[in-house]
Amino acid sequence: MTKTYGERATSLPNKTAQELFTLMERKKSNLAVALDVTTKQEFLDIADKVGPYICCLKTHIDILEDFDQDLIDKLKKLQKKHDFIIFEDRKFADIGNTVKHQYSKGIYKIAEWADIVDAHAIPGDGIITGLKEIGLPLNRGLLLLAEMSSKGNLATGAYTEATIEMAKRHKDFVIGFISGKKFNSCEELIIMTPGISLDISNDDLGQQYKTPRNVIENGSDIIIVGRGIYGKGKDAVVEAQRYRNAGWEAYLKKFE
Ligand code: 5BU
């Protein structure tokens, strides 16, 4: 039987995962916004606008041209105000020792403010062990990239299978996958899905879009929407509401 998000909060040991499920149920939202803008002003402005409608704010912190500590302080304030999880889509892909530094040091000090980060499985288990040393004491969570949304990507078949096996060996820290569908052998893990649009099927750089309904029917838990919400000529509040409703209706359909 399909479990509600609220019921699933107790089925994972990781505190961030529990918090995420609880707030999804409370806010009635399975929408994550991918906030890919390049100035602090735009970033904070859109985050404040979409905040009430989202369960998660996904960042690419290294694309901001005027990044500073003040941005992080303000982001944390918005997180308190609106109640969402912060996911830095860092896609770590190096050996354990290197990713530890990339996660905790440098300009961005990601581990200090990002509840969730993600990683490629390509380097093997050491990438998870390294990230875990930093993240677990802070109750952070990790997603593995089991699939990608872009045309021609190599995260398929045996690679995806091996990624799932890797996640199963680290259930204290790995809370889920980036993927377009649920995997039967680890149903309790969270599936987050990028490449979502209600209006178009691709961009001109290989991105491929599906609808919220498509992916939630396939077992996705959280839809990740970027340009569909704040792209040219869009009203971010109107679009955030539209995607939030589409995502939540698709979720409710599973209980009919
Ligand atoms: P879009 O504007 O909705 O196309 O943005 C999608 C976001 O999701 C963007 O931040 C990408 O970096 C991210 N993404 C993706 O599109 N596809 C993937 O497979 C992964 C991440 Br992993």
> Tell me: the pLDDT tens digits for 156-205?
999 999 999 999 999 999 999 999 999 999 999 999 999 999 999 999 99
Tens of pLDDT, residues 146-158: 999 999 999 999 9
Task: Please give the average per-residue pLDDT across 37-65, as a whole number.
Answer: 98
Rounded Cα distance between 15 and 38, Å, is 31
CATH number of the 5-253 domain = 3.20.20.70
DSSP letter for each residue of the chain: -PPPHHHHTTS-S-HHHHHHHHHHHHHT--EEEE---SSHHHHHHHHHHHGGG-SEEEE-GGG-TT--HHHHHHHHHHHHHHT-EEEEEEEE-S-HHHHHHHHHSTTT-GGGT-SEEEE-STT-THHHHHHHHHHGGGT-EEEEES---BTT-S--HHHHHHHHHHHHTTTTTEEEEE-SS--GGGTTSEEEE--B-SS-SB-TTSBB-B-HHHHHHTT--EEEESHHHHSTT--HHHHHHHHHHHHHHHHHHTT-
Which of 35, 36, 63 to mutate to test ligand 1, by most ligand atoms within 8 A of the CB atom? 36
Residue 1 has pLDDT above 90, yes or no: no
Residue 126 has pLDDT above 90, yes or no: yes
Query: What pLDDT shows up at residue 46?
Result: 98
Task: Please give the average per-residue pLDDT across 111-132, as a whole number.
Answer: 98
The reply to whether ligand 1 has any atom less than 6 angstroms from the CB of 176 is no
Residue 137 has pLDDT above 90, yes or no: yes
Task: Please give the average per-residue pLDDT across 100-118, as a whole number.
Answer: 98
Task: Please give the average per-residue pLDDT across 6-29, as a whole number.
Answer: 96
Q: Which atom of ligand 1 is nearest to the CA of 178?
A: 22
CA of 256 to the centre of ligand 1 (A): 30
Binding site members for substrate: 36, 58, 149, 207, 226-227
This prediction has a pTM of 0.98
The reply to whether ligand 1 has any atom less than 6 angstroms from the CB of 149 is yes
What six digits make up the tokens of 167?
Answer: 């996640």
Domain positions in the chain: 5-253
The reply to whether ligand 1 has any atom less than 6 angstroms from the CB of 89 is yes
Task: Please give the average per-residue pLDDT across 15-27, as a whole number.
Answer: 97
Tens of pLDDT, residues 68-85: 999 999 999 999 999 999
